Structure formats: C-alpha cells, structure tokens
Amino acid sequence: MVLDDTPLNTLLKELTERRSVRAIARVGSFGTPLQWAGSLPQLLVVDRKVQSPAQEIKNGVVLHQFPYEALEQGSFPTGLLAEARMEYDPTRLLSKQQKNLPVPDHKQLVKKGQERLKKIHLNKQADFIEALLVSREVFLDHVIPQVLPPEQIFCSDLRFPEHLQNRLSLSAPQVLSALEELFALRHPEEAPGLLAATRGLSLTQQEKRARVAVEAGYLRGSMFYLRQQSTRIHRESLKQWNHLPAARIERLNQLWGLERSPLGWVAVHLVQEFL
C-alpha cells in the first residue's frame, strides 16, 4: 500500500497502525470508473473498540465503522461488502466473506421484516412518524434484497433512487413506485429547497454533499440522502416531539418528507404488501 500526504492515505496509515483495527477496505465510487463529482473517499473499518456500527466523516473521508463481531459473524451490509477493495486484512476474514457473499434467503427476509413491523404500536403522534421510519428501514433491508442480487445493491444514498431506476424500471416497477411514495421522492423539483432545511441541525457536511448531487442532476438522490442522514442524526428527537420548538419540527418535517409520505399503518401496509 503506497502512502502519501493525502487525507485518505494519511488516515489509512493511522488506522493500519492502530492495534484495535483488524480490517480496512476502500468502498464507494471514489477512485473507480464510477467516480463522479460527489464521490468521497470511503473506508470500511473493523475496530475492536467500536461497540456498534457507526458512520462518520473524518477529514473528508467517510468511515463505515464496525465492531469485531461483524468480522467474525459476517454481519456487514451486503452491498458494502460486495464493493470492498481490501487495504488491510491480516486475518483474511474480510476477503473470505466477500468471496462468499450471502445469498438472500427470501423466507428469512420476509419473516424478519414482518417481525419488525409487528413491533410497531401507535399511541401518540410521534408513533405515526416512527412507523414510517421503521417501514422505510424494512423496505430497504427486507424488500430491496429480494429484487436485486447482492453485487447490485448500491450503497451510495446520493444516487440510490437513480440506480434503482436503471436496474428495476422494467423488472420491478412497483418497487420503484413504493420507494418514491415511502420516501416522498415524487417531486424532485423540491430538492434545492430541501437544502435550506438543514440549517441549524448539525448537517453541514450532509448539506454540502447533497448540494453537489443537486448540481449534478441527482435530485431524487439528494432528497433520499438528506432523508436518511437527518433521520440517522435526529431520530431521537421523536422522543420529545411535542416539546420541540416549532421551527425545528418544521425543518424535520420537511427533511423527512412527512407531508408527502404515508404515516402510521398506511406506511406499514404499503411495505407489508411486498412481504
């Protein structure tokens, strides 16, 4: 591995010298023929000090961090594992997992997806929003893998809807329709305005990336990305939803696409149709 002074290689050197790090791989489109204006260097990192999967941006590099158990049990996201380009893998466990990508078990996908949906209870206003967020997760984790082989599951949120459009427009148009409805993507002209809703919500890096996607023409991708990132960072706000400042609720409402998305049982039933 050749090291130089670039942020990526500097970080690679730092990580490989860290004793708790057990595997590193490059992922994403950066440095590949698929690179575009919004590509950032991305690394999959297995670290014994990490307790649960997490994502952060450090010095312009996106880090997908996983605990050591993921290396032992093979619990990496399939799409991420499929595109991994090894940088540091002394045990060869990561390479072995990549060579034996798990074949989706449709029965298990359906069973686990249904189990997650059955845990939903609607008692207060925030529960209807939580039902939507869980339905979105189940759709991505348990429906999409049924219609796309592991090597075609795209990890870039910034271009995910456009990628699915290319892959599924003929074979599974109903899945595309459900994606647009669940994530409120049917009005791409709203993408530029969504950027302003990030202000004051600690989403500076995410806004910059989404803006690049908008300028490159990935309007639905930028909307999908902001929905996912704002949910990841601000989901805990649901616990205090009725006590949040009106301005904050308005911005989250816009970022999550609540006015254009199905809520409560409507969202749940939409996903159940695929399970």
Residues 150 and 114 both lie in one domain: yes
Q: What is the mean pLDDT of residues 14-34?
A: 93
Question: Is the pLDDT at 145 greater than 80, yes or no?
Answer: yes
Residue 207 CB: number of other CB atoms within 10 A? Answer: 19
pLDDT tier for residue 19 given thresholds of 50, 70 and 90: very high
Q: What is the mean pLDDT of residues 57-77?
A: 91
- Residue 2 falls inside a structural domain: no
Residues 72 and 110 both lie in one domain: no
- Residue 1 falls inside a structural domain: no
Residues 51 and 128 both lie in one domain: no
> What residue type is 13 in one-letter code?
K
> Which range has the worst mean pLDDT, 99-103, 126-130, 183-187, 230-234?
99-103
* Pairwise CA distance, residues 221 & 191, whole Å: 9
Residues 93 and 175 both lie in one domain: no
Residues 151 and 258 both lie in one domain: yes
Read off the CATH number of the domain in which 69 is found: 3.30.460.10
Measuring CA to CA, how many Å separate 108 from each of 145, 179, 183, 213, 275?
11, 21, 24, 35, 10
pLDDT digits (tens, 9 = 90+) for 178-211: 999 999 999 999 999 999 999 999 999 999 999 9
User: Please, are residues 191 and 223 in contact by the beta-carbon 8 Å criterion?
Assistant: yes
User: Please, are residues 176 and 269 in contact by the beta-carbon 8 Å criterion?
Assistant: no
* Pairwise CA distance, residues 172 & 126, whole Å: 32
* Pairwise CA distance, residues 201 & 13, whole Å: 32
* Pairwise CA distance, residues 70 & 75, whole Å: 5
CA-based angle 244:247:250, to the nearest 5?
A: 90
pTM of the model: 0.85
Question: Is the pLDDT at 24 greater than 70, yes or no?
Answer: yes
Cβ burial 156-184 (10 Å sphere, 16+ → b, else e): bbbbbbbbbeebbeeebeebbebbbbbbb
Question: Is the pLDDT at 77 greater than 90, yes or no?
Answer: no
> What's the confidence (pLDDT) of residue 154?
62
Residues 236 and 255 both lie in one domain: yes
Of the residues 99, 134, 157, the one at which a domain ends? 99
Of the residues 78, 99, 120, the one at which a domain ends? 99
> Position of tokens 């305005």?
193
Instruction: Give the residue numbers spanning the domain of 258.
Output: 106-272
Of the residues 82, 99, 116, the one at which a domain ends? 99
> Which range has the worst mean pLDDT, 42-56, 98-112, 192-206, 237-251?
98-112
* Percent with pLDDT over 90 in the chain: 77
Question: Is the pLDDT at 135 greater than 90, yes or no?
Answer: yes
Residues 134 and 230 both lie in one domain: yes
CA-based angle 239:244:249, to the nearest 5?
A: 100
Question: Is the pLDDT at 3 greater than 80, yes or no?
Answer: no
